[in-house]
A and B are shown apart, each in its own frame.
Chain A
Amino acid sequence: MKLPVRSLLAIRSASTAVASAENAVPASVPAATLSSEFFDHIRHQVYGDLKKVDKVVVSVRTEDKAQPVLVNRNVSTSFHCFNHISKHFADDAVLVEVHPSVGGAYFSSVNQPLQDQAEIRKIGFDSAEDVNLVNDAYWRSCSLVTAAFLKEALDVDVDFRFPRGNIENGYFSVDVKGLNGNVFTLDELNTINRFGKSYIREEKQFEVIAVPTSVAEASGIHGDHLVRIGRQVFSTDGPCINSTRQIGRFTIFRSKSSGKSVIVGGVSIPMKQPTSSYSWSLVAKNAVQKFSKNA
């Protein structure tokens, strides 16, 4: 039985969403119900009380100099630091390389709070270095955005798994559980795409929390990052892009049945890398072919 078109755009009465990680759930700790309130709880647990303000100096490294910025510990993010340079500098940031005063360097999302004195460096789509990290972050973010607007669009209670994919596959995919194997028709896909594009145009932020291992094990989180997009929360295993503003061309082209779940495939190109309609049609057609072959 196909899902009726009318039910696709019905907004769920519940404001929270449930998502599960791709890995198997251990028997000892049940999987956490990921909701916006749970996200706030974990953030409070990791970063402490937001009302307490501690200042910390963060050095923003640009091409020719390092500019110190005074920000709030555990509250301010790298995005706020980049905003001190310029708005365009902050908007173009996809990831950030953090060199803390204590410990080793690591890559994080731009919207992840800073916990200590550090030196940060912006990584964008045009960065010659760390291209693979940027590509993986973008591909991961597209999957999460797809799950977020599908969660809001569908009337049924669904769970999501995120198959590990990379850009060489030509498409990203989301495993949707709860549809009983009913794939989307062409009309439903068109409706979903319209809703998805309007969702992306709202420029929703990717709020990211780096969850320590102890907190993740105690809370039943399967992944080292929690991401909130609007009111939807997901667990993931890496950083994400800044916001949906950085997503350019985007389409969900097909869905296929896999047992009782439905795998939804899509393809996207960043806003910073514009292309012609012909090139985009080639990319989308190739993604459809590869998605169909992997059935």
Chain B
Amino acid sequence: MSAHRVAVSLPRIGVTIGHAPQKLKTGGIEPSRRARLEVLRRIVTRTVREERAELKWNRAVEARPYLERLIQLGVERGPLDEYTAEMMEWWLPEKDLITKMHEVIVPRFQDRDSPFTSLFRLPPQRLQQFIQNKREVWKRYDIGVLEIDGNPFPQIQADRVDQSESILDVLLADALRNHQKNLQEKLDTPKKSQ
């Protein structure tokens, strides 16, 4: 009940929440709600520690709202809030990450609204799914990169530079313009049968 009261007072997070929760499986735990939370907790912990995590797309999409909410709790309610402390302790089992969250990550977003994270899609990748006896089974997975904004790494997407005066753009723009002009002339020209 306290979680619902806290959630109502918080602004809405600015990322998409999947309408179909994924069945997230992990080794050693039967697929269940608890197992799903364990997977998400590990992803959130890893992302807070590394600030950029490359993982399967469905897991990245599923974990992103939880990471957003966790950062939002730190920004909106601060470290002294009882509910925030409880959530930090649960989602970040490694205690030094709680310190990092409050002293490094949360101050970045004090004057900023959600979203606090970014999600990028990488090309599909063929990963080893499991090994059965001596047989390896591989499968293609969509890969995503989940990162906390303001991280010290080079940006994934380069800034868009205006290349309108480059040789290729000048030639291609002129070619397309003339191509369009020729098509228009063909349309305006009456047909021979008429």
Contacts and interface: CB of A to CB of B under 8 A. Distances in A.
A223 B166 CA distance: 27
A279 B172 CA distance: 7
A167 B172 contact: no
Contacts of B162: 128
Nearest to B182: A289
Contacts of A170: 171, 174-175
B171 A286 contact: yes
A283 interface: yes
Interface in A252-276: 267, 269-270, 273, 275
B183 interface: no
Contacts of B175: 170, 279, 282-283, 285-286
Nearest to A269: B168
Chain B facing A: main interface SS:
helix
A283 B174 CA distance: 8
A171 to B, nearest CB: 9
B179 interface: yes
A283 B176 CA distance: 8
B178 A286 contact: yes
A82 interface: no
Contacts of A289: 178
A267 B166 contact: no
A70 B162 CA distance: 36
A139 B170 CA distance: 13
A138 B168 contact: no
A126 B161 contact: yes
A131 interface: yes
Contacts of B178: 286, 289-290
